A and B are shown apart, each in its own frame.
Chain A
Amino acid sequence: MAKVLVYSTPTCPWCIRVKQFLTDNKIGFENYDVSADQAKAEEMIQKSGQMGVPVVEIDGTIIVGFDKERIKSTLGL
């Protein structure tokens, strides 16, 4: 089972979609709200080298934005 982390804000439309997509595909994930958690926001910027949300991390692989195809191929869906 892949370890999936989502860095998101509650207000961003693509964050809602990426979480919906994971849920629809029965992929468990941990969500970090980077608007409320400054440490996680720094961590996201460090890992992805940028400041846009959402960021998805799948077993160490960083995917910026709701890139459905890359998320699918990384998860082997």
Chain B
Amino acid sequence: MYDLIIIGAGPAGITAAVYAARKRLSILVITGNIGGQTAWSGDIENYTGYQFISGPDLAAKFEEHMRQYNIALKENESATAIKKNGDVIMVTTNMGSYESRSLIIASGKRTRDLNIPGEREYKNKGLTYCATCDGPLFSEKYVAVIGGGNSALDAALQLVNIASKVYIINNVSSLGGDAIMREKLESNSKVVIFNNSQVKAVLGEKFVKSIKILSPGGEIELPAQGVFVEIGLMPNSEFAQDLEKNKAGEIKVSSCNETSIPGIFAAGDVTDVPEKQIIIAAGEGAKAALNVFRYLSQHKFQDA
């Protein structure tokens, strides 16, 4: 039985682990990967102490900091269920199950899927979720960006310098995001914007060749060798079935990071905390760990 299990090892989970280790708690960290979204970020210029650092470098520093302490770590493992019986919290994963007196959920967010035919088959075969990474491979090709918010506009602006044609498929009546980005795209002759349109399927042979969309004018097949999915993020909170969440699926927390079940805390992007930022997630992780420490010292455990 651990004092604390932490699910996730992004900025929130890692900071919680460091704080809890310094309180000499026995800790298990369960995570799919180390670094979370930070490891995917490009340039970071607003993490105090670093005027400039790349996402992978900051994630590597987080990891190095955590590994200074004696913390049990299960990588490539993901939680599938949590259950509290009496004072024992049981975390079930795809590999096994673990018991603890307290829990911090810091499982973050992931890119939202389209859930349409062809998405899974063509992942990395023309369909990608990272324009920054894979965009340069589509030089002089036709590409489609799915989405209409800031991340979609950002992807489209990167792609106009690379591809020969950029379709933007937006499911509402006009593009969102920053006006300045929108204007740049609207005035670019390479860009064609489809508003009020949904992507129905990704088609191809070995690689993507086209997409099928439903627009107000009817069903259209657009030639595209690259499909960039930029429809936002969703919280990794499905396994936390018994906890109270908001409409977006984010776990509701108090200002002390408590969830609706005593002993279970949550921190970072998976919660309803306003503003999703690396530094905020890290701060929330620290706060959660300190509140766990308080809970463990003040709570009268039945089996103790």
Contact = CB atoms under 8 A, between A and B. Distances in A.
A58 B57 CA distance: 24
B132 A12 contact: yes
Interface in B103-147: 124-126, 128, 130, 132-137, 139
Nearest to A64: B124
Nearest to B225: A51
A73 to B, nearest CB: 14
B136 A13 contact: no
Given A16-B56, A51-B124, A52-B128, A41 B133 contact: no
Interface stretch (B8-16, B35-43, B165-173): B35-43
Given A11-B132, A13-B56, A53 B206 contact: no
Contacts, number: 68
B133 A14 contact: yes
A35 B161 CA distance: 12
A71 interface: no
Contact of A17 (B56, B124, B136, B226): B56
Interface range on chain B (Cβ under 8 Å from partner):
20 to 34
B75 to A, nearest CB: 9
Nearest to A44: B137
B207 A51 contact: yes
Contacts of B296: none
Given A17-B39, A51-B124, A9 B54 contact: no
Interface in A35-51: 35-36, 38, 41, 45, 49-51
Interface of A: 9, 11-17, 20, 34-36, 38, 41, 45, 49-53, 64
Given A11-B132, A13-B54, 16 more contacts: A9-B133, A9-B134, A11-B42, A11-B135, A12-B134, A13-B41, A14-B133, A17-B56, A34-B137, A35-B136, A50-B124, A51-B124, A51-B125, A51-B207, A52-B124, A53-B134
5 closest Cβ pairs, A-B complex: A35-B136, A12-B133, A52-B124, A50-B124, A13-B56
18 contacts: A9-B134, A9-B136, A11-B42, A11-B135, A12-B133, A13-B39, A13-B40, A13-B41, A13-B42, A17-B39, A17-B56, A38-B139, A51-B126, A51-B128, A51-B226, A52-B124, A52-B133, A53-B133
